[in-house]
A and B are shown apart, each in its own frame.
Chain A
Amino acid sequence: MALIKTQTHQPIAHDERKQARDCNSLLLELENDNPMARRWAARDLADCPAASAALVSRLQLEDDVSVREVILTTLTVMGNEVAVVGLVNCLRSEKVALRNEAIEAMKQLPDEVAPIMRGLLADADPDVRIFAVNILESLRHPEVESWLISVIDHDPELNVCATAVDLLGEVGSSASREPLLRLKARYTQVPYIQFATDLALKRISDG
């Protein structure tokens, strides 16, 4: 027994994927009991745009994080309307992990998410609005600051504004100054808002 080199140099063309890889059989595989089979199916379904609806509904049920991750990657690659709507629906899920995974996936889709961002930031559910601000954190889009300003000027929910202020400390320019001062004046009784707006204002004026 010793250190040995790989005995065989076969380029492994046939791996675990036994099933014929057409879209229909992949959809069936998505329900397989074996998470490994579901992972491979979710990955290969990237070439089947019509499968986005099935992936979205599987995502809601899927308990295995490794399968969910692949489904989210595939949906991100697809980036079609069904995929994006599916991701938005995850934000309303009771499952915290799924919500946060969806937020991370949506950060990767600036072009697809930008058109619906105003809608998300105006959603009736304050939690969804907080998640929308979370998405802005890494969204490569020129309007991020103006969206955040509109949040702190208009959102009635304290915690939505608080989340936006955190990000403005990083991305805010002098355009954010007045809105931050207005927010600060609106919540004089809330120590956290006083702290957060002061911090953001300091970073903006120094910057």
Chain B
Amino acid sequence: MNRSLRLATAVVLVLGLAAVAALLADRAATGTDDQAAKQIGNLTGEAYEPWAQAPGVPGGERNAPLLFGVQAGAGLTVLLGCLWYWREHRSEA
């Protein structure tokens, strides 16, 4: 296994582990989105009421980690698939 392949494998593994960690971690840290939304009221002096509501997470908020996982999983699958494809077809280049 050459050095570049080892590095790329390590990166993909780290990405995968980070995805799992992000999904399993206690999400106590406040998101910057929420902080920014709160600041609107502080800056303008009046609370802003959104004029549209998000459709919500299918099946409820508890499914959000699963759906984020689907997103990360789909991306990782494509990434690994393409790297594998290039490796296999390298000799044809």
Q: Do A and B bind each other?
A: no
